[in-house]
Amino acid sequence: MVSHWFKLSPPRILVMGFAVIILTGALLLMTPLANATGEPLPFIDALFTATSATCVTGLVVRDTGTYFTTFGQIVIITLIQVGGLGFMTMATLFSLVFKRRISLRDRLLLQEAMNQNSMEGIVRLIRKVLMYSLIIEASAAVLFTIRWAFDMPLGRAMYYGIFHAVSMFNNAGFDLFGEFHSLTGYVGDPIVNFVAIFLIVSGGLGFVVLSDLVEFRRSRRLSLHSKVVLSMTGALIVIGTAVILIFEFTNTKTLSSLDWSGKIWGSFFQSVTSRTAGANTVDISALRQASQFFIIILMFIGASPGSTGGGIKTTTFMILVGAVFSMIRGRNDLVLFRFRLAQERIFKAVTITMLALFLVIAVAMVLSTTEEASFLSILFETTSAFATVGLSMGLTLDLTDVGKLIISFMMFTGRLGPLTLAYALGPKKGKELYRHPEGKMIIG
């Protein structure tokens, strides 16, 4: 049995590892010690919560701040930290602490977990991941604590600061403010908005990009990957802010009653959080349908590779857009920042997008038969689960047990990636011994 485990491919080990963590978390959340009622939490609700935390999503069927005890909340935030950084990253941390040698198989797993093209420098990258995460989360926790010390006792402010710093950096969206309000009470607060947005963007850029930015002062150069991620992230944030501001400017239920500062912060925050974070400063269910559908698009695109976020990723979307423009301009090669991309990258981007699109559509169709809600609400929930965002129009609380299991599966698939899951569940690919003759067909 042990020998069979070691023969498993890296994708299968990742799938099984995340599954074990989720089940362990669910069992802990089921204990009476984890909730305020003192009664065992139903297994499906515990499984849903553990999946949402481990897959850093933020969809909840029980309010985190009022239903769970401090023990339950610590279990949730631990699952978020392990799920956000990856269980292999945490395992590497213990190996480094105890000075255990990192084997070749461990490096292969880390390469798969961090979505890297090679094993070169993978352990060095993990060290940076751990260091950057600790520094960013600790700094944000201090700033949150100082701000919330004006609204609550210092001890509680410190606890809230640590919890939300970890949750926001890992793009999880869990909060402790009670009754599913998230950060709606701070829609115009510049400190809370700035710190939260910085955490979300930092966690969503990916650790390779963070490393490039930290070392830029010395190296004076950015990799192609970092240039694509930064440019696409910036463009999506600006476009998203403008679109939400335009559609919601006169909406009395969201931005209309706010001053100009509140309108800008509200639009800015929703644009940033929509691509993976799950926290919100305005009522998502009160947004106009145009804004809600636009947020679905942002959620589907998601964050960047090697980050704590989900979605098809910004680089995938950039390749698709670039391929379209290259085809329109009659060019055979896709060139980004004066670098030509291999056809293999384009095929992978198309494959990931089509798998994600088919999965979201299929699950939304199934949920439309099991749940009593509008199709837009169902599509919103499905996309939010797949992209591990955590935003909801209110459907989560009314999900049937079947719906909870389906959404849990979507969160699990979204965190691992549809391609990784396909590799894990599919047969081992063999070597192609021949190529078929080239055929021609009419397209368009």
Q: For residue 298, which of 247, 235, 354, 359 has the smallest C-alpha distance?
A: 235
- pLDDT-based confidence at residue 376 (cuts at 50, 70, 90): very high
Percent of the chain with pLDDT over 90: 52
Lowest mean pLDDT among 7-11, 206-210, 248-252, 308-312: 7-11
In this predicted structure, what is the pLDDT of residue 430?
Answer: 55
The mean per-residue pLDDT over the stretch 402-428 comes to 78
* Token couple for 181: 């309000």
Band of the pLDDT at 31, cuts 50, 70, 90?
Answer: very high
Residue 234 or 82, more confident: 234
- Over range 233-260, report the average pLDDT: 94
Average pLDDT, integer, range 68-76: 94
pLDDT tops 50 at residue 3 = no
pLDDT of 87 above 90:
no
Q: What is the value of pTM for the model shown?
A: 0.88
